[in-house]
Amino acid sequence: MTPTLVPAPQTAEGRAWRLTLLMVAGLTLVRLAALFATPLELYPDEAQYWLWSRELAFGYFSKPPMIAWLIWLTTKIGGDAEAWVRLSAPLLHGATALVVHRIAWRLYGGWSGLVAAAIYSLMPGVVLSSGLIATDAPLLFFLSLTIWAYVDLAEAYAPRRYFVAAGMGVTLGLAFLSKYAAIYALGSIVLHALISKEARHRWCAAAIVLFALAFVLTLAPNFAWNASHHFSTVKHTASNANWGAHLFNVRELGEFVISQFGVFGPIPFGVLLGGAIWLGIKRKVQSPDLLLLCFSAPPLVIVAGEAFVSRANANWAGASFVAGSVLAAGWLLRWNARRWLVGGLALQAVFAAFFVVCMVNPRAADAVGLSNGFKRVRGWDQTIQAVIERTREEQALRGGVTAVAMDDRFLYNAAAYYGRDYFGRPGAPPLRMWVHEASPQNQAETEVPLNAAYGRRALIVSLEGGYRPEIEQDFKATSGLQISRVRLDKKRSRRIDLFVAEGFAPLPRDPVTGLPPEPKRR
């Protein structure tokens, strides 16, 4: 018989695969429809990624390049509207769910592939990530391919083993080009080899060399870019650890652990956490369990440690999603916990449906008191239109301005995207960033800092007026203060202070803190 890549449709595995395809296709279509119907605007970080995609590179100030490459591709196809900027996110998550099925089927057989794909697809973190463009979607897709190749390596014989090893090196390299959290997977492979004799049998000298070579060659362009830019992306990633903050924070640790029930799903994460502890104590961890624990536990443990000594965001352990979904599915089926499985998936499905409703009609979030969660994807177009109106005024009536300078990267990114039709025209004043500290803290401050030439007569835009006193100190004269507010919902508004500043002569920054001197009280 001719071997097939998928189970035959008449078998139980074949039916599970067919149902998985239908489920993933249905969810992806719903998410795409919501993406094109939503009135929600780009989050400023999304606008930043769009801005990066205008000039392709092998790296950027705060992230590896994959996200910019994806946005470049989708916007080349459909244009620069928000939906096309975000298009790759639901497509990649759908593809990841299919790979999750293949991993689970190989390790646990039966219906585990369908269950794992359902847990992953309805995971609250994945539901949220499918509605915006961020680094998690490509990271999880390439990590899933890496784990799939690693699972396949156990049954591959030469010469196929060499192709699988090289392919795994490429997919892990692409995961690194998506987000440096892919380093957990590299550590997982090493950890599995250290504690499992079966894991060591997967490898031979040639496979190790091919894996390492393919990984290094894939990652090399980004490494070269970082080397030529003083390793800015690596430094920024390390700075997020914030180890200079208050250390040993039990509250942060508790909040992080609780947040994982929210981003992973209450039942699946409870199964993952409780199963790992119980089976570890009983020493009943099977070979597939150990493999998946090596891929899912390190991100959770390390980020929990980071939360304890400093702080951690809920999505920082996202590298555990793929292996964790498969492991939770395998255990739920092994324990015949159908009621818990159905209940957990039903709860996550309700959340997924509610999120789609909120995307299409944000007033639904307002009605239940969740409008705060959407405030950063509202009002940016209107905010930037106020900036454009004041700029046109200055250009037409008062001799023009040499630049429009922002004091916040969110404002700059939003202006670059929502003001692209105006600021992209010939003759329009350029967008610039007023640099608060002695050294740049983001890519806009690095590439387009305000200087004396652009600061001869600049229109300053200050978010919430927070840095206005410091900005005024850096100029010889300021005038024409205008405070504009944009309503976000019934309770919240966004404020921007607009004023003209002339004669940019920045005060020296403190050599220790990097900050300008405290403004004098008037």
Using one digit for the tens of pLDDT, what is the confidence trace for 347-375?
Answer: 999 999 999 999 999 988 888 888 888 88
> Do 103 and 201 fall into the same domain?
yes
What pLDDT was estimated at residue 13? 83
Domain count, the chain: 2
- Domain finish residue from 298, 329, 364: 364
DSSP codes joined into one string, 99-134:
HHHHHHHHHH-TTHHHHHHHHHHT-HHHHHHTTS--
- Which comes out higher in pLDDT, residue 133 or 235? 133
360 within a domain of the structure (yes/no): yes
386 within a domain of the structure (yes/no): yes
> Do 171 and 271 fall into the same domain?
yes
Share of the chain above pLDDT 90, in %: 75
Residue 293 has pLDDT above 60, yes or no: yes
Give the C-alpha distances (Å, rounded to integers) separating 410 from 31, 156, 406, 418. 26, 49, 9, 12
> Do 347 and 431 fall into the same domain?
no
Give the C-alpha distances (Å, rounded to integers) separating 110 from 7, 25, 107, 259, 333. 10, 21, 10, 31, 9
> Do 198 and 299 fall into the same domain?
yes
- Domain finish residue from 364, 396, 422: 364
Using one digit for the tens of pLDDT, what is the confidence trace for 409-433?
Answer: 999 999 999 999 999 898 899 999 9
What pLDDT was estimated at residue 1? 39
> Do 314 and 400 fall into the same domain?
no
- Domain containing 387: what range? 380-504
**71 pLDDT band (50/70/90 cuts)?**
very high
> Do 109 and 254 fall into the same domain?
yes
> Do 384 and 359 fall into the same domain?
no
DSSP 8-state class, residue 372:
G
> Do 168 and 305 fall into the same domain?
yes
Residue partners of 359: CB distance under 8 A and separation at least 6: 34, 35, 37, 38, 40, 131
234 within a domain of the structure (yes/no): no
Residue 234 has pLDDT above 80, yes or no: no
Using one digit for the tens of pLDDT, what is the confidence trace for 458-514?
Answer: 999 999 998 999 999 999 999 999 999 999 888 889 999 999 999 999 999 877 777
> Do 325 and 386 fall into the same domain?
no
Q: Would you say 64 and 447 are in contact if contact means Cβ atoms under 8 Å apart?
A: no
User: In the structure encoding, which two tokens stand for residue 150, read together?
Assistant: 């690693």
CA distance 112 to 105: 6
> Do 317 and 439 fall into the same domain?
no
> Do 425 and 450 fall into the same domain?
yes
> Do 41 and 182 fall into the same domain?
yes
Q: Would you say 127 and 347 are in contact if contact means Cβ atoms under 8 Å apart?
A: no
| Total-model pTM | 0.93
422 within a domain of the structure (yes/no): yes
The SS3 call for residue 214 is helix
What pLDDT was estimated at residue 520? 67
